[in-house]
């Protein structure tokens, strides 16, 4: 395997600025919204693309965050190394429960597995009697988690120590959805089979909806990173990430000329164009091409994406810019001046996918 290429001339390509103070402010907001619960940070998928190590280190040092969730034990092992000097040692939970092949990673990293079925529960109890474990109960999402019929057998396992039971809401993006209440009720009932365990139901959306699903431990992800868990933006959340790229060429196109692959955009009048060093290869979705809503902010002004987004380049229409745009000027594709929620919608996706899709050429810069 070869290492991913990172750009040596960092100003020539795209970058994402990560405001760690804003991240910490979002953590504090989420913690204060659920004051009766501990607030765990979800840093799976490399901290939603923004760097799990930097994110977790900031939250641990500045906000005293002591519980983290990742998806894979490899992510947990890497996080343990980053947090090795934090005392007391943070708890690191792994959503994907243990497999025979990953058991050693759990042991070495002192990771807490989230058990997802009876089989995993048995194996963990055998291998690590009385070591702490969490249990994911499926309350109707039909994705991950133990089905209710298995809970009796899991609860009966002698050397299994379930310290946290959790479940996950399918419709937290829509606070009015009746499934939220149904899942909460089912969770309250089913979790009674594990009387000593802490209870955890809410991710960002659940925390910000109402206290009925706060319980003892929350698991917040997207809102930390400045994205809204809801279908609409939410002004309680501060922007954290700003995606920026430099203009690499300016040109003029006359009526009838076309822009980009497929000649898909035909110029109607004298048009000034700025070509920017960002493309779908960097994770900016090609689906934003031609939808008419894709845009960037350049020198404080809006510019529309025109033509198809290509692997390394995007073309912006700067005809109406009052301040002349020149090579080296910087275009912002989301950030403090253009909400990530809107940018994602213009790409036909959600902020989660936009962040986690950011590619290896996008330099991560911490403010």
Ligand X SMILES: *Cc1c(COP(=O)(O)O)cnc(C)c1O
Question: What DSSP string runs through 315-367?
Answer: EEE-TT-SSPP-TT-EEEEEBTTB-HHHHHHHTTS-HHHHHHT--TTSEEEE-
Marked catalytic residue, from 72, 179, 261, 366: 261
Q: List the beta bridge partners of residue 41.
A: 68, 220
Q: Counting contacts by CB under 6 A, is residue 31 touching ligand X?
A: no
Of 223 and 316, the one with the shorter C-beta distance to ligand X is 223
Site mask for ligand X (CB under 6 A), range 230-269, x = bound: ----------------------------------------
Contact (CB, 8 A) for 79 and 100: no
Of 94 and 220, the one with the shorter C-beta distance to ligand X is 220
Q: Counting contacts by CB under 6 A, is residue 219 touching ligand X?
A: yes
Q: List the beta bridge partners of residue 42.
A: 69
Whether 322 sits among the annotated catalytic residues: the reply is: no
Site mask for ligand X (CB under 6 A), range 143-182, x = bound: -------------------------x--------------
Of 227 and 279, the one with the shorter C-beta distance to ligand X is 227
Binding segment toward ligand X, per CB under 6 A, in 6-14, 198-206, 306-314, 315-323: 198-206
Q: Which residues contact 94 (CB under 8 A, 6 or more apart)?
A: 69, 70, 71, 72, 73, 75, 76, 106, 111, 112, 113, 114
Q: Counting contacts by CB under 6 A, is residue 294 touching ligand X?
A: no
Q: Which of 47, 49, 98, 221 binds ligand X (CB under 6 A)?
A: 221
| Pairing outcome for strands 91-94 and 38-42 | unpaired
Q: Which of 20, 43, 60, 220 binds ligand X (CB under 6 A)?
A: 220
Q: Which of 15, 27, 93, 95 binds ligand X (CB under 6 A)?
A: 95
3-state helix, strand, coil in the chain (%, to 5): 30, 25, 45
Whether 44 sits among the annotated catalytic residues: the reply is: yes
Of 218 and 271, the one with the shorter C-beta distance to ligand X is 218
Q: Counting contacts by CB under 6 A, is residue 97 touching ligand X?
A: no
Smallest separation, CB 291 to ligand X (Å): 25
Contact (CB, 8 A) for 228 and 341: yes
Q: Counting contacts by CB under 6 A, is residue 42 touching ligand X?
A: yes
CA separation for the pair 193, 21 (Å, rounded) = 41
Calculate the alpha carbon distances from 211 to 36, 43, 105, 175, 186 in Å: 9, 23, 36, 12, 16
Task: Give the binding site for ligand X (CB under 6 A).
Answer: 42, 44, 95, 168, 203-205, 219-222, 229
List active site positions. Answer: 44, 261
């Amino acid at each position: 395997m070869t290492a991913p290429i990172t750009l040596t001339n960092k100003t020539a390509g795209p970058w994402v600025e990560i405001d760690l103070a804003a991240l910490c402010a979002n953590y504090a907001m989420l913690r204060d919204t659920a004051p009766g619960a501990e607030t765990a940070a979800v840093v799976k998928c490399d901290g939603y693309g923004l760097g799990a190590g930097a994110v977790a280190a900031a939250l641990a040092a500045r906000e005293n965050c002591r519980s983290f969730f990742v998806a894979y034990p490899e992510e947990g092992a890497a996080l343990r190394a980053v947090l090795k000097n934090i005392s007391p040692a943070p708890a690191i939970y792994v959503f994907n429960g243990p497999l025979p092949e990953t058991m050693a990673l759990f042991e070495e990293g002192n990771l807490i597995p989230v058990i997802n079925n009876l089989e995993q529960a048995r194996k963990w109890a055998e291998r690590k009697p009385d070591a702490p474990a969490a249990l994911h109960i499926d309350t109707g999402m039909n994705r991950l988690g133990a089905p209710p019929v298995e809970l009796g057998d899991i609860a009966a396992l002698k050397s299994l120590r379930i310290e946290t039971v959790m479940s996950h809401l399918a419709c937290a993006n829509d606070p009015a959805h009746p499934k939220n209440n149904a899942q909460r009720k089912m969770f309250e009932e089913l979790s009674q089979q594990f009387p000593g365990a802490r209870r955890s139901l809410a991710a960002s959306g659940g925390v910000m909806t109402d206290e009925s699903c706060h319980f003892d431990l929350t698991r917040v992800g997207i809102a930390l990173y400045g994205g809204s868990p809801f279908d609409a933006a939410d002004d309680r959340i501060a922007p954290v990430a700003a995606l920026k790229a430099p203009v690499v060429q300016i040109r003029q196109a006359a009526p009838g000329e076309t822009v980009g692959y497929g000649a898909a955009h035909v110029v109607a009048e004298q048009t000034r164009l700025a070509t920017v060093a960002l493309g779908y290869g960097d994770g900016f979705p090609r689906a934003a091409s031609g939808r008419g809503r894709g845009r960037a902010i350049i020198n404080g002004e809006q510019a529309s994406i025109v033509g198809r987004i290509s692997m390394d380049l995007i073309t912006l229409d700067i005809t109406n810019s009052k301040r002349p745009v020149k090579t080296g000027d910087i275009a912002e594709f989301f950030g403090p001046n253009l909400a990530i929620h809107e940018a994602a919608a213009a790409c036909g996706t959600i902020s989660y996918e936009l962040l986690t899709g950011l590619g290896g050429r996008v330099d991560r810069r911490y403010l």
